[in-house]
Amino acid sequence: GHPSRPDAPLAITLIARDASELRALAQSAADQLERGDDPSDRKAGRVFFSRNPLGPKGELAFVYPGSGNQYAGMGRELCLQWPEILRAQDRRNERLRSQLKAAEIWGGGSDIGGARTVILSQVTLGAIATDLMAGFGVRPDAIIGYSLGETAALFSVGAWRDRDEMLRRVTESELFVSDLTGRCNAARRAWGVADDAEVDWSVGVVETSADRAREVMAELDRVYLLIVNTPDECVIGGERLAVRKAVEMLGCPFHALEGVPTVHCEVAEEVSEEYRDLHVFDTYPPEGMRFYSGAWGESYEVDQDRAADSLLAQAVQGVDFPKTVRQAYDDGVRIFLEMGPGGSCARMIHKILDGVPFRAHSISSATQDEPSAVLRALGMLIAERVPVDLAQLCPGG
């Protein structure tokens, strides 16, 4: 009944479950304004206001997370709440159900499967989340992918379009069955491990700086710095005993990650040709979007070769997320919207950009009702005066 006013310099967004809560939130916000305070409800996350909105002067980036963020049921509530997104996706893809791995991720169990399931489902859910935000009129200026997120990003915004072909390649390839996961044959060849011996690959987050991690890795074999998450957090991986030794030397907590293949280190060089070929697709760069490479830490012109080169570079060289995020910030990005699943990238961005004006928010979380997370993301965008069309919330209204 009251269309948005994009010309209004300021906005307050209230996220209410019913009319009485809406009245209470509105009264509280009015009281805070009258006292000269900024309206907020940080604990519940139901009130959004910015006295100096970032939208008019800054850019918006969509951020796509990587492996390790998956959780059972991810994306299900989004698809139930906005089924028209799923229907539209079904019309554009011959095998959407197989891409989504619906039986595995929505089957009710806590174990959603191996690397193939994680890769295919997160790419598909990234596209669903992107189409959902497009329905609200939200379009990014910049695209950032964390590890697997780079692949998800390219498909989600339409730079790559043939997800059925991606399904075929991933399904038929041995990369995510025995080369980079399972028997880990790439690591077996790189380390000279006998065919009848086990390769016990382990990956996890350590709370230490990249410099300290590199110092320790230099003294050990078969363990690598894979990803720099924040100034004081990294991902390391390698042979389990070597990882355990590295953690002892670092003297810091270790948080294991599941379903992460043997990539982001020199091990992947054993299958570099196959890995690059997997990521060569006809490419259609969306106008007005800037793409960032996690390996290079900067934006690049997207074409068939450069996109494949970027994916290969992060597979064999690793990812420097702080460098990438800071470069995006220097280039003008002020609002980072994580397209899920999980909120790990938003959490890391808060650490990376501490002390400067920005916003980082996720639209999908394992600990929060997914439609509510979307509403909160929209609330944040509106308060920051990013154009949002809420008509999708009231179809037929």
pLDDT for position 43: 64
Cβ atoms 56, 385 nearer than 8 A: yes
How far apart, in whole angstroms, are the C-alpha atoms of residue 183 and residue 152? 26
Cβ atoms 224, 257 nearer than 8 A: no
pLDDT for position 257: 87
Question: What are the CA-CA distances from residue 32 to residues 27, 52, 362 (Å)?
Answer: 9, 17, 27
Confidence of residue 394 (pLDDT cuts 50, 70, 90): confident
Helix axes 304-317, 148-156, angle to 10 degrees: 160
Phi, psi of 112 (to 5 degrees): -95, 5
Quick check: bond before 286 cis, omega within 30? no
Per-residue pLDDT of 3-47, as tens digits, reads 778 889 999 999 999 999 999 999 999 999 999 999 987 667 899
Per-residue pLDDT of 179-231, as tens digits, reads 999 999 999 999 999 999 999 999 999 999 999 999 999 999 999 999 999 99
H helical segments located in the chain = 19-34, 76-81, 83-92, 96-100, 102-105, 115-135, 148-156, 163-172, 185-191, 210-217, 240-250, 272-278, 304-317, 321-330, 344-352, 370-383
Q: Of 103-117, 263-277, 368-382, which gets the smallest average pLDDT? A: 103-117
Residue bearing the bigger pLDDT, 367 or 226:
226
Cβ atoms 260, 203 nearer than 8 A: yes
The arithmetic mean of pLDDT across residues 306-323, rounded, is 98
* pLDDT above 70 coverage of the chain, percent: 98
How far apart, in whole angstroms, are the C-alpha atoms of residue 115 and residue 182? 9
How far apart, in whole angstroms, are the C-alpha atoms of residue 322 and residue 231? 7
- Burial of residue 390 (CB within 10 Å: 0-12, 13-18, 19+) is middle
How far apart, in whole angstroms, are the C-alpha atoms of residue 235 and residue 319? 10
Cβ atoms 280, 308 nearer than 8 A: yes
How far apart, in whole angstroms, are the C-alpha atoms of residue 356 and residue 348? 14
Phi, psi of 254 (to 5 degrees): -125, 125
Per-residue pLDDT of 82-94, as tens digits, reads 999 999 999 999 9
